[in-house]
Amino acid sequence: TRIRPSSKRCAVIGGSGFLGRHLVERLVEKGYSVAVFDIAQRYEVPGVTFHQGDLCDKQALLKVLKDVSLVFHCASPSPACDDRNLFWKVNVEGTRTVIQACQEAGVQKLVLTSSASVVFEGTDIKNGKEDLPYAKRPIDYYTETKIQQEKVVLEACSKEKDFLTVAIRPHGIFGPRDPQLVPILVDTARKGKMKFIIGDGTNLVDFTYVENVVHGHILAAEHLKPDSPLCGKAYHITNDEPIRF
């Protein structure tokens, strides 16, 4: 029989990113031992080990995952890059590689950062629940691969294999060190390119504070057990109130 690694030993794939770093910092505060796996190292935190590598490389993943019981997967090419091949290679094929590596290494839980855009068909959604179907016509290549990625992860959930999975679906994330959302909005406004209104000005958009997104990930991880309803499910994550946009 295999000796189970401590449930407080985890890895964050994409841990150098905006969300990943907030997640790493909170996990350390909560007493987890954390290994970061990312194509780039952008910071140092005492007690966190960094492993530079591509998630498409199973051997590189195996080295990091062998003593780990819980994996968070929050890596993705930037949605702005619009490179269909890269999205498929990393988000779909790479995620299959992550699952194989987790299973070979004996990891018991995988928490995926998905996206609320997986159910967005281009028309307004109010109070959307998780039983909405996946978008048949995703709005871009990024979303197309986020749908496939989520399916692959949720289908891999298996009590028999002692491998449980769950997906968290934030929409826009804001907070300290946000590299995209707010800086791009501010920049666009400064250039005078926001002098038009889409709709009648009462549209609402769902932005979630990064620490709430982190909280959702950790709650999901800690409640993911063989008999829990979370197994193989996706959860939207949001603040209480959407923001008038």
List of residues contacting ligand NAD (CB under 6 A): 14, 16-20, 38-40, 54-56, 74-78, 90, 94, 113, 115, 170, 172-173, 179, 181
The least distance separating ligand NAD from the CB of residue 226, rounded to whole angstroms, comes to 26
3 state DSSP class of 17:
coil
Q: Which of 43, 142, 209, 235 is catalytic?
A: 142
The least distance separating ligand NAD from the CB of residue 56, rounded to whole angstroms, comes to 6
The least distance separating ligand NAD from the CB of residue 154, rounded to whole angstroms, comes to 15
Residue 141 falls in the annotated catalytic set:
no
196-230 burial by CB neighbour count: b if 16+ within 10 A, else e?
eeeeeeeeeebbbbbebbbebbbbbbeebeeeeeb
Burial of 74 (0-12, 13-18, 19+ CB in 10 A): buried
Neighbours of 243 (CB within 10 A): 12
Burial of 1 (0-12, 13-18, 19+ CB in 10 A): exposed
Select 74 or 119, whichever has its Cβ closest to ligand NAD: 74
Return the residue nearest ligand NAD (CB atom).
17
Select 30 or 43, whichever has its Cβ closest to ligand NAD: 43
Select 7 or 78, whichever has its Cβ closest to ligand NAD: 78
What phi and psi, each to the nearest 5 degrees, are found at residue 22? -60, -40
Select 54 or 83, whichever has its Cβ closest to ligand NAD: 54
The least distance separating ligand NAD from the CB of residue 22, rounded to whole angstroms, comes to 8
Q: Which residues are catalytic?
A: 142
